[in-house]
Amino acid sequence: MARRVLSLRHRARRWLFARGKRATRFIGNYPFFGGLAGTLVATVMAGVTFAAIYSGRAEELRHAAENSRNIVRIVSSDIARNVELYDLALQAVVTGAQQPLTWTLPEALRQQVLFNRATAASSLGGAYVIGSDGHVVASQSGEAAIGIAASDRDYFLAQARSPDTGLFISKPYRSRLRGGVLTVGLSRRIGGREGTFAGVALLGVRIEYFDHLLARIDVGRHGGVFILMQDGTMIASKPADPRGAGANYADSSSFGRMAKQAAGTYTGRSPIDGREHIYTWEHVGATPLIVAIAPAVDDVLAPWRRRAWFAIAMTALFGGAWVIVSWVLAFALRDKVVAEGELMRLAVTDPLTGLANRRALDRRLASEWRRAAREHEPLAVLFFDIDHFKRFNDTYGHAAGDEVLTLVAERIAAGTRRAADMAARYGGEEFTVVLPGMELASAVKVAEKIRKRIEAANLAHDGSSFGRVTVSVGCTSCNPPQGGSAAKLLAAADHLLYDAKEGGRNQVKAQQWSGDGVEPAEAGPPAAA
């Protein structure tokens, strides 16, 4: 039994050693893997932390919006309830004022009949009956109002113009009956015989009522809470509006949404202080009033930011240490990998033009052939040859010839912008382009575009009938496995290149290849340079 246990332990150690050796070899072949793996682990850890932080931010904003909605509902309900009570009192005043008998009673009894249901709350600015001429004919306090007229007030004009106005809530005004106290008037029309206008029943509400209502709300250092009318008129605000009650904000971008929707929440930048605020609002029942609260995002997120910075600092500290340790091995092996990579690059790259060389072309073409056959996609090949290149070298020298080869290679590479395309130097002044997944018509367009770009370079070539450096192009495409092999497809393109040179050069010859015609040996003799 003991031997069996020792044998199992020995096998486990051997298995672990083999796996460790394989991992070491893998990291040696791919030295950046260790660094990238460590970085990935640190990134994932940081990502999880940041996701949690961001989730906390969203939760703070959601909680603030929910609190705002609750506050708005409470304030709105309080106003709606009081407006309803005030309206009932107004209706009682209207009923009494419309009875002719009321005006025959002694003054004390008339006061009781008219205003017995009107509340005496300190926030009220009094209840009144205003005649059709705009003068006060009765008041809750019984005080005389000689010479004081209200015919220019909006609450009087609205009721005088239409019998269907109903309850009207005025804009803030300074009361002439209460020594200039800021007041909002609630009014109803008093009808006379046959529906004529007989006056207005008025109930004044001090602005103090709204101010006291908002004073109890904590909106943070930079937040605000408002009561406005649907036309943008400010009734009350906290902090106090510098323009005072009655200022109009109809042209404010934030008010536009509030006027259109009965209730809502959105985050936007205030035109007043330039800060982001969470605007939450609700229309107060059937009244023209809107209650809105706008805590500043900075105030809402202040506690979250403190927690977030601490979490970010710890994540950066430990994550950074982890990344540094992970990259120690990568930096130690970097030079070796760079040297090996350079050798591999040189093995598949033409040193003069920087394009892929013949070896890389053969491998890539064979690979694309197999892929095209497997996925039933077309495969196109372009074969380029610089016209009269030998004459150019004889006339201008081999150094100039090398410059031409480099330019032609650049124009060919620039004309193949898809990641799957491959441009290669086939040998001498011949170049090849592999175009996976491309039909013949599209391949011809690519070939023509490259040919025109090379011609447009306008490199002088006195040995050419065109007077400049030009190229001839053979273009073909097939649908494997109809064709026999990638080498035959390339030979077909070479054959078409020969046709282009025979046809006068500086042109593209194209033909769909089915795989049953051209063999590599049938490509024809090379055209005279």
CATH classification at residue 444:
3.30.70.270
pTM summary value: 0.54
Closest of 363, 336, 503 to residue 422, by C-alpha:
363
Least confidently predicted of 101-115, 300-314, 319-333, 478-492: 319-333
- When pLDDT is averaged across residues 114-118 and rounded to a whole number, the result is 75
- Assigned domain for 367 exists: yes
Using pLDDT thresholds of 50, 70 and 90, give the confidence band for residue 122.
low
- Assigned domain for 103 exists: yes
Report how far residue 58's alpha carbon sits from residue 50's, in angstroms, rounded to the nearest whole number: 12
The CA-based angle 303-306-312, given to 5 degrees, is 135
Alpha-carbon dihedral angle through residues 393, 399, 403, 405, given to the nearest 10 degrees: 50
- Assigned domain for 503 exists: yes
Q: Of the residues 150, 179, 209, which one is the last residue of a structural domain?
A: 209
- Assigned domain for 161 exists: yes
- Assigned domain for 61 exists: no
- Assigned domain for 460 exists: yes
Report how far residue 373's alpha carbon sits from residue 526's, in angstroms, rounded to the nearest whole number: 30
- Assigned domain for 104 exists: yes
Report how far residue 330's alpha carbon sits from residue 171's, in angstroms, rounded to the nearest whole number: 74
Alpha-carbon dihedral angle through residues 255, 256, 259, 264, given to the nearest 10 degrees: -80
Would you say residue 200 has pLDDT above 90? Answer: yes
- When pLDDT is averaged across residues 378-407 and rounded to a whole number, the result is 93
Domain count, the chain: 2
Per-residue burial over 430-469, b if 16 or more Cβ lie within 10 Å, else e, is bbbbbbbbbebeebbebbbebbebbbeeebebebbeeebb
The upper half-sphere exposure of residue 141, i.e. CA atoms within 13 Å in the direction of its Cβ, equals: 13
- When pLDDT is averaged across residues 472-479 and rounded to a whole number, the result is 94
Residues 317-366: tens digit of each pLDDT? 888 887 887 777 766 666 665 556 566 666 778 888 889 999 899 999 99
Q: What is the mean pLDDT of the chain?
A: 84
Phi, psi of 146 (to 5 degrees): -70, 130
CATH number at residue 203: 3.30.450.20
Would you say residue 25 has pLDDT above 60? Answer: no
DSSP, collapsed to helix, strand or coil, labels residue 77 as helix
Q: Of the residues 179, 209, 239, which one is the last residue of a structural domain?
A: 209
HEC letters along 1-43: CHHHHHHHHHHHHHHHHHHHHHHHHHHHHCHHHHHHHHHHHHH
pLDDT of residue 36: 79
- When pLDDT is averaged across residues 431-449 and rounded to a whole number, the result is 95
Would you say residue 375 has pLDDT above 60? Answer: yes
DSSP, collapsed to helix, strand or coil, labels residue 376 as coil
Q: Tokens representing 240? A: 């106090």
- Percent of the chain past pLDDT 70, that is, above it, reads 85
Classify the C-alpha dihedral 223-226-230-235 as positive or negative: negative
Could you list the residue range(s) of the whole structural domain that residue 407 is in? 358-523
pLDDT of residue 526: 38
- Assigned domain for 385 exists: yes
Report how far residue 513's alpha carbon sits from residue 488's, in angstroms, rounded to the nearest whole number: 10
Place of tokens 């382009």: 433
Q: Of the residues 171, 187, 209, which one is the last residue of a structural domain?
A: 209
